[in-house]
Structure 1
Amino acid sequence: MLEEQIINVNGLDVHVVSTSKYKTTNFVLQIKSTLSKETATERSLLANVLKSASKQFPSRKEIRLYLDNLYGASFHADVQKKGENHIISFRLEAANEKFLKDNTPLFKKSLSFLHEVLENPFLDDKGGFSEKVIREEKRTLKQRMESIYDDKIRYANKRLLEEMCKDEPYSVHPFGEMEKIDKINSDTLMQEYKRMLQEDDIRLYIVGDVKAEEVEEAASIFSVTSHSPQKQADTQQSKPLNEPKEKTETDDINQGKLHLGYRTAVTFADERFPAMQVMNGLFGGFPHSKLFMNVREKESMAYYAASRYESLKGLVLVFAGIEASKYEKAVEIIKKQLDDMKQGNFTDEAVEQTKVMVKNQLLETADSARGLVDLYYQSIAAGNQRELTEWVKAIDSVTKHDVIDAAATVELDTCYFLRGEEAAK
């Protein structure tokens, strides 16, 4: 992974990855707060409102025209959760001016635009956010939330986490809650905006062919500050129940969505983390995994079957598309795959194959500018630094015994099944 240099400019940490590998420069503002039901909807809406209008560019159209003038720069905003952190990201990708024939100072103009978006929002005569912009962005946010319901895999995953982590911040979706949207007004949004600027951890990432001196000069326009990351507090983690929770719901669907939520004490900051990555890869992360080969291929139980490891929270999530009549059998076979992992019923060759795939996935992520930022930022979100070279070495050194030990920490907490209405009769 390319080397990261952190420059503190008037209290703002600017993470610079200087490389001539790309012909563009990538800028990412990361704004981190604690994930909370009280603020998630406001922050989600706020990200869209800030993205859509600023003092200098008071409409989406004017922002688009300005970006076109920056040789077609692209600009996006999104919200996500990393562990029990709620992250707003503003991403801008612009051509590197060294490849242009004229002398347009794209680097400075890009930083100036991000500063404008963050610190000079479009306000009405009373000094509040424009009700017109808020109305438009509320509609957009509702559509994004509705799109989750329309995508039954995403919806089932959302419902699993709501049931599994009921009394934990992790149950909150990064978009927030539909029923809260209409209650938000210009005043409540302004309160959240001011709180965000004062309290949130704000960082700027820059990846491209840039020098530290020009970064320091250009970034001095920002007046926000970063807060040094604390080692992430243990995320609220209730122990798996002796008897896992079961929840079945019905919807107008043909194919049932079976989602199982497992808990593990092994998180990104744990020294056993690389072993857990390999464990998950062999359990359900890749096409050669136990879930794919045995649940989908051998038993023909599922249209798809896979697992994902949420390392900042300590969850392993399994998802499978099944016929409703095969529910009990599918759950039984999925449980057996994890039991086989705990018993060591897999070969050394399978471990080696998985290690290669985990490393390739990691190196592939580090190969793109966006992936680089995400990898570096994961260390900030976890409060634990992981150098890529050491990370790869740690994966290399994982043994079959380490994988068995990692599997031993994984316990089923909740089983969620979304089935068709006809099948429930």
Structure 2
Amino acid sequence: MKIVDGVQLHLIKNTILKTNHLTFRFSGVFSEKTVARRVLVAQMLATANADYPTIKAFREKLASLYGASLSTKVSTKGLVHIVDIDIIFIKDKYAFTAENLLEEVITFLESILFAPLVSVAQYQSKIFDTEKLNLIHYLETDKEDSFYSSELALRKLFYRNPTLQLSKYGDAELVTAENSFTAYQEFQKMLSEDQLDLFIAGEFDDYRMLQVVNKMPFEPRQVNLTYYYRQDYQNVTRELLDKRPVNQSILQLGFHHELRPQDDDYFALVVLNGLLGSFAHSLLFTEIREKEGLAYTIASHFDSFTGLFTIYAGLDKEQRNRLARLINKQLADVRSGKFSMALVGQTKEMLKTNHRLLTDNVKFLIEQAYNAMYLEGIPSTEEWLNGVDVVTKSQLMRVAASLKLQSLYFLEGNEA
């Protein structure tokens, strides 16, 4: 339901769960200039506001709402940077009194959005500075995570768009450069210019929800967002070797793919990823980790929004070349049809089972509603299950052949 141009209300009925879920989503342009500011805004949104100006008061208000929980989350879809406010709370019928808890939660959300904790056009400095330091510490700690840092290194090798080389959180240097003024101004820009979506999932009166949300002072806006990013394949593999005093070496391979959810071979890519590296029965796991004992962990993953297909492994540094050869062999075998259709059938069943389980997850339902509104060709659950089911051997061979190695990153642990 459109509230004003660029602001949508999504009502998702759910009578099974005992909780209601509310998600307020900001969707804006993912850019190096604003990413750190937006993450700092996410920190502040979950901390305090003018009505509840201390962390203690803010948490006490949540406790008074029958122990409601509030968190914020940052994510990306292509060149879109998303900030979510998530609130989970019990349904009205489970409350001890006849109060309308859902409306109270929406009122609380309104105070978060329209009564921020500010002082002279900037966030209140004491709390902001604490949240900024917490975020910098988090990002510095993440840099010590070998898999996280190697993933970022692969992104820098693979993507030619500088923004996509960044983490969704930015980095410590970008955060350090921001202050309470720049972050607050970014919040005001988000509130007035971002695409806004309010999702309410659970049990409620549709008309009453529309009435309550329509009272919020949202201004219309025109938003142009780019969810799908594609870059041309370049016939040069970019490689980088790093050394660090860690016990486990890491190999990251970045392959170029062209497929989007609306494309004919998209479900073959889904099945191929499962066949190669998503499950305990997948080829990379059974042939390389179990039979050859070459990897502590090995898996594959793909991003349908940006055209990156990744194979990554943790290993001893002496095994790098042998491991790379065996990964290439598994891909070559699929490309030439040397794989079991029984294994494909097992992969399809695992994929379908996992997808069915997701349909009971409220956040998945929210993503479905969001994707269906803004993304072209997003399949329904029934279409997804059927799409996986009908993937053929020739499709798997064709999609495997279309994957082209674009980047290789190796983190060599010098204590391995």
Question: If the length of structure 2 is used for normalisation, what is the TM-score?
Answer: 0.94
Give the match for residue 287 of structure 2: 294
Residue type of the alignment partner of 2:348: K
Q: Does 1:303 align with 2:296?
A: yes
TM-aligned CA deviation for residue 386 of structure 1: 2.2
Q: Are residue 206 (structure 1) and residue 179 (structure 2) matched? A: no
Query: What's the CA shift for 1:188?
Result: 1.5
Q: How does 1:113-132 map to 2 (within 5 A)?
A: 113-124=108-119, 126-132=120-126
> Aligned AA for 1:89?
D
SS in 1 for 2:326: helix
Matched, 1:89 2:84: yes
**Which aligned pairs between 1:299-378 and structure 2 lie closer than 5 A?**
299-378=292-371
Partner residue, 2:9: 14
The alignment of Structure 1 onto Structure 2 pairs a total of residues equal to 415
Query: How has the CA–CA distance of structure 1 residues 199 and 146 changed in structure 2, closer, same or farther, with 3 Å as cutoff?
Result: same
Q: Distance in 1 between matches of 2:55 and 2:227?
A: 39
Opposite residue 341 of structure 1, the aligned amino acid is V
Q: What is the deviation of 1:169?
A: 2.7
- Where 2:296 maps in the other structure, the secondary structure is strand
SS at match of 2:324: helix
The aligned amino acid for 2:149 is: Y
Secondary structure at the counterpart of residue 65 of structure 1: helix
Distance 1:350 1:261 in 2: 25
Post-superposition offset of 1:166? 4.2
- Quick one: distance in 2 between partners of 1:274 and 1:231? 25
Q: CA deviation at 1:342?
A: 1.4
Cα 1:226–1:395 shift into 2, 3 Å: farther
Asked if 1 retains the 8 angstrom alpha-carbon contact of 2:261 and 2:378, the reply is no
For the pair 1:74 / 2:69, whether they are aligned, the reply is: yes
C-alpha distance 80-122 of structure 1, shift in aligned 2 (>3 A): same
Q: Secondary structure at the match of 1:294?
A: helix
Kindly report which structure 2 residues correspond to 1:193-232, keeping only aligned pairs within 5 A, or say none: 193-224=187-218, 232=226
Equivalent residue, structure 2, for 1:111: 106
Superposition deviation, residue 233 in structure 1: 6.0
CA contact (8 A) 1:53 1:59 kept: yes
- Give 1:134's aligned amino acid: F
1:150 and 2:151 are equivalent in the alignment: no
SS of the equivalent of 2:310 reads strand
State the one-letter code of the partner of 2:122: G
2:12 partner SS: strand
Unaligned runs of 5+ in 1: 1-6
Q: Which one-letter code corresponds to 1:177 in the other structure?
A: D
Report the Cα distance in structure 2 between the residues aligned to 1:186 and 1:231, rounded to whole angstroms. 27
Q: Would the aligned equivalents of 1:115 and 1:221 in 2 still touch at CA under 8 Å?
A: no
The whole-number CA distance in structure 2 between the counterparts of 1:167 and 1:334 is 28
Go from structure 1 to structure 2 and tell me whether the alpha carbon gap of 1:232 and 1:35 turns closer, same or farther (over 3 Å shift).
Answer: closer
Deviation of the 1:407 alpha carbon = 1.6
Q: CA deviation at 1:380?
A: 4.8
Q: Which amino acid aligns with 1:171?
A: Q
- Per-residue CA deviation, residues 273-302 of structure 1 (Å, 9 max, x unaligned), is 211100110011111111101111111110
Please tell me whether the aligned partners of residues 22 and 208 of structure 1 are also in contact (alpha carbons under 8 angstroms): yes
Q: Match of 2:167? A: 173
Once the 2 structures are TM-superposed, how far is the Cα of residue 83 of structure 1 from its aligned partner? 1.9
Query: How far apart are residue 319 of structure 1 and its match?
Result: 1.2
Q: Secondary structure at the match of 1:302?
A: coil
Unaligned runs of 5+ in 2: none
Partners of 2:256 and 2:307 within 8 A in 1: yes
Asked whether the 8 Å contact 2:230–2:307 carries over to 1, the reply is no
Give the corresponding residue for 1:243.
Answer: 236
What is the alpha-carbon distance in structure 1 between the residues aligned to residue 387 and residue 325 of structure 2?
33
Residue matched to 2:261: 268
Deviations 1:167-212 (A, max 9, x none): 3432121111211222212322232122212221110111101231
Equivalent AA in structure 1 for residue 191 of structure 2: L
Query: Which piece of structure 1 moves more, 338-347 or 69-78?
Result: 338-347
- Out of 370, 392, 410, the residue aligned to residue 417 of structure 1 is 410
Q: Alpha-carbon deviation of 1:230?
A: 6.2
Q: Bigger shift: 356-365 or 164-173?
A: 164-173
Question: TM-score, normalized by length of structure 1?
Answer: 0.92
Aligned to 2:273: 280
Q: Percent same amino acid among aligned pairs?
A: 28
What are the Cα deviations for residues 122-149 of structure 1, in whole angstroms up to 9, with x where unaligned? 111x232111122011111112212322
Kept after mapping to 1: 8 A contact 2:157/2:239:
no
